[in-house]
Amino acid sequence: MLQDIQIQTPSLRGTSSCVLETERLTLRRPTLADVKAITHLANNRRIAENTRRLPHPYLQEHAVEFVRAKATDSSETVFLIEHNYSPIGMVGIDRGEPDAPELGYWLGVDHWGRGFGTEAARAAIDLFFEEFDAEHLVSGARVANPASRNILEKCGFQWCGVELHRFEALGYSTPVDRFRLTRSVWASLKNWGSSTRKER
Ligand SMILES: CC(C)(COP(=O)(O)OP(=O)(O)OC[C@H]1O[C@@H](n2cnc3c(N)ncnc32)[C@H](O)[C@@H]1OP(=O)(O)O)[C@@H](O)C(=O)NCCC(=O)NCCS
């Protein structure tokens, strides 16, 4: 799935200034030129209610603050997801807690249901395990979010419990299924070649 990584700086660590190409998507660092598009995509309660940190309503100033913060934040690798040269969402890996690097993502509602979430998550996961030494990656999905749960399971994440997390847009805490993907499971999935069946 991860077809090409164009590295624009000698080291990816702490910069997120690389571009990932998948079959249908381009993942790149968001810039201030993307603020309008990000605001338009993110300003939807269905997205905010399933992501911990997205405020609702999501205003242009939120997008400006987000882009500026991520440009200097070496602990989070964030990508704007583009399809046919148009932004459709965001995926990122937050390494703020070194023992629990965390995958997160959201897509504009018009782009749900076409496998883009899985495709973008896989690209970010590949980059993470290829570029960092960590042994595992974590993620979470509200218990009432089967689409996100499906993405995580398709990427090899295994359920490891339920926690209460506060969601900014909800203003309260709600149960979240927690998932973990180990390097060994990721490597195994990547190496699982196809087999053929012969009738005898
Ligand atoms: C979660 C989200 C990224 C999914 O994106 P997507 O591109 O539609 O996801 P995909 O198409 O790659 O895969 C979703 C899977 O869940 C399934 N699914 C979708 N809605 C579902 C539902 N209500 N019940 C059960 N399964 C569902 C899809 O069929 C698909 O599985 P399949 O490939 O086996 O058919 C998108 O809905 C979103 O941005 N939601 C709001 C933000 C969010 O939840 N972020 C995740 C929190 S970290």
pLDDT in tens, 140-150: 999 999 999 99
Q: Which residues are bridge partners to 103 per DSSP?
A: 93
Which of 1, 148, 153, 176 should be mutated for ligand 1, with most atoms under 8 A from CB? 148
Average pLDDT estimate for 148-173 = 97
User: In angstroms, rounded to a whole number, what is the distance separating the alpha carbons of residues 170 and 48?
Assistant: 8
What pLDDT, on the 0 to 100 scale, is given for residue 172?
97
CB-based pocket (< 6 A), ligand 1: 47, 50-51, 104-107, 112-118, 141, 145-148, 150-151
| Element (DSSP H or E) covering residue 15 | none
The 10 Å Cβ neighbour count of residue 44 is: 17
Query: Which single residue is written with the structure tokens 């934040």?
Result: 73
The closest residue, in CA terms, to atom 10 on ligand 1 is: 115
* Cα of 41 from ligand 1 centre, angstroms: 16
Average pLDDT estimate for 127-134 = 96
pLDDT band at 66 (very low <50, low <70, confident <90, very high): very high
* Cα of 197 from ligand 1 centre, angstroms: 32
pLDDT band at 3 (very low <50, low <70, confident <90, very high): very low
What pLDDT, on the 0 to 100 scale, is given for residue 13?
46
User: In angstroms, rounded to a whole number, what is the distance separating the alpha carbons of residues 192 and 170?
Assistant: 41
- CATH fold for the domain made of 18-193: Aminopeptidase (3.40.630)
